[in-house]
Amino acid sequence: MSRFFLFLWEHRQSLLFLLLILLSLAAISLSGENRFNLARQINRTLITPFQMVVSKADYYLSLKQENERLRKNNFVLSLELYHLEQARQQNERLKALLDFSPATPIHFIASRVISGGIGERANVFIIDKGSRHGIRINLPVLVPEGLVGKIIETDPARSVVQLYTHQDFRVSAMPSGKTERGIAGSASGGRLYLFNIPLRTSITPGDLIVSSGMGGIFPKGIPIGEVADIEREREMGIKLRARLNPSVNLDKISELFVLADSAFVSPGAGILFETGDSLNLLWSDQ
Amino acid sequence: MSNLRFILFLLTLFFVHLLFYQYISMGEIFPDLFLVMVVYAGLIWGPEWGSLTGFFAGMAQDSFSFTYFGLHALAKVLVGFSIGKVRHSFFSGKPTVQIAIILAAKMVHDAVFYGIYLARTDESFWRQLLFVSAPAALYTAVLGVALFFLFRIHQKSRGW
């Protein structure tokens, strides 16, 4: 027995190395759900407390600067608000004249990015709002420029956003002003494409691709990207795919919006705008 | 090094990385400070601590990667252990040597990582290594030498 332990002790470096390699390989070979749960557990236990501290410190450090900027903005916005109120009243009068049906309010929850992930190709954001603020899985996440991703995980105080660069992310999409549909998502390496385009297509470089509203997660009209070029899909060859220049630069995002279900939002959530069945008013999709 | 110091070392590593990560990126180029710590642990304390540091640092990074969980850990264990094994052959206090070590470690790390990550994709492995990993390795190496310097000062002041 003692010889066995002596052997272990003498070869402890190699054995430890082998053990760690095996553990890593075991982690890689875990099934999707187990892998996700383990990653989530480690993230919650080890990383989140640090991120919260860092995020709070960063928040307070930038508060004074932010205050100055907001004061200036406040003056400009007050003027704009006056003009918008005039326009709204005129709009109401015209809608009443044309007998339009009442519009549906869409709520949003403004959030800050706590972390953008710390590894290669993390493709997730951690944000500072969670289920107690009304955030649920699969809610769309966006910024004024366009689509960012969707919620894939929530805690009471934080959520995980799956970015459009994540290889599992997919959204039903269409060119703005045209009727063809495809599936937008990331190919390997985070490059954004519109997949599943028929060979005879009217899509051309420069077209703006927006969400189509199909699929039940993303409302219609959210900008996704502009068509850079079109090529045959490599696996099948009977369909085309369009490479997109994304509308949103993920590197520059520190604040974003989660489009919320009005039945679940907390009183602190804002109303983004009113519209019928699309986001046309926000992004002027033709 | 005692276990407590090792844990403190890891916690410091987490904190520094989380605090500065988003501020020290240069456009698309992100430094890998965790790798610097792994190289450091391997060089100073040998293959056991090198591979252990690699495993925990890699797992922390992997907790953000919901698709390829375990891949950072694998690559970093390999780097930490290898550096620890061959450390006596080449380690020197010269910054140029240290830059070369970190640069090589980052390239090996990324070769392992992207070799597996891109295996079933149509993205070019060599393109990734040349245009993304190489600049990131250079940047990581320069920052790494500065961190090495700070750690050595701290250790000397504590008499480690």
Banded model confidence at residue B86, pLDDT cuts 50, 70, 90: confident
Q: Is residue A134's pLDDT more than 80?
A: yes
| A164 vs A91, higher pLDDT | A164
Q: Is residue A167's pLDDT more than 60?
A: yes
CATH class for the domain made up of A101-286? mainly beta
Stretch among A188-202, B18-32, B51-65 having the lowest mean pLDDT:
B18-32
Section A99-126 average pLDDT: 71
Q: Report the range out of A6-15, A267-276, B22-31, B61-70 with the highest average pLDDT.
A: A6-15
Give the N- to C-terminal CA distance of chain A in Å, as an integer: 79
Q: Which residues of B touch A36 (CB under 8 A)?
A: 66, 69
> pLDDT value at position A278?
39
Q: Is residue A54's pLDDT more than 60?
A: yes
Catalogue all structural domains in chain B, each as residue range(s) with its CATH number.
32-158 (1.10.1760.20)
Question: Using the beta-carbon criterion (under 8 Å), do B67 and A167 form an inter-chain contact?
Answer: yes
Q: Which residues of B touch A187 (CB under 8 A)?
A: 121-123
Question: Using the beta-carbon criterion (under 8 Å), do A166 and B27 form an inter-chain contact?
Answer: no
> pLDDT value at position A31?
73
CATH 2.40.10.350 in chain A: give the residue spans: 101-286
Q: Which residues of B touch A55 (CB under 8 A)?
A: none
Question: Using the beta-carbon criterion (under 8 Å), do B73 and A27 form an inter-chain contact?
Answer: yes
Banded model confidence at residue A263, pLDDT cuts 50, 70, 90: very low
> pLDDT value at position B87?
80
Nearest to B81 by CA among A11, A24, A20: A20
Residue B98 buriedness (CB in 10 A; 0-12 / 13-18 / 19+): buried
**What residue in B sits closest to A35 (Cα-Cα)?**
B69
Question: Using the beta-carbon criterion (under 8 Å), do B128 and A40 form an inter-chain contact?
Answer: no
- Could you say which of B34, B63, B71 has the minimum Cβ distance to residue A28? B71
Question: Using the beta-carbon criterion (under 8 Å), do A42 and B63 form an inter-chain contact?
Answer: yes
Q: What is the pLDDT of residues A35-50, one digit of tens each?
A: 777 777 777 776 667 6
Question: Using the beta-carbon criterion (under 8 Å), do B34 and A46 form an inter-chain contact?
Answer: no
Question: Using the beta-carbon criterion (under 8 Å), do A116 and B62 form an inter-chain contact?
Answer: no
Q: What is the pLDDT of residues A171-198, one digit of tens each?
A: 999 998 888 889 998 876 668 899 888 8
- SS3 annotation, chain A: CHHHHHHHHHCHHHHHHHHHHHHHHHHHCCCHHHHHHHHHHHHHHHHHHHHHHHHHHHHHHCHHHHHHHHHHHHHHHHHHHHHHHHHHHHHHHHHHHHCCCCCEEEEEEEEEEEECCCCCCCCEEEECCCHHHCCCCCCEEEECCEEEEEEEEECCCCEEEEECCCCCCEEEEEECCCCCCEEEEECHHHCEEEEEECCCCCCCCCCEEEECCCCCCCCECCEEEEEEEEEECCCCCCCEEEEEEECCCHHHCCEEEEEECCCCCCCCCEEEEEECCECHHHHCCC
Q: Which residues of B touch A43 (CB under 8 A)?
A: 63-64
**Mutate which of B20, B55, B69 to test chain A, going by most A C-beta atoms within 10 A?**
B69
Q: Is residue A129's pLDDT more than 80?
A: yes
Dist. CA B46–CA B35, nearest whole Å: 15
Section B83-107 average pLDDT: 84
Section B35-39 average pLDDT: 88
> pLDDT value at position A286?
37
| A140 vs A3, higher pLDDT | A140
**What residue in A sits closest to B109 (Cα-Cα)?**
A120
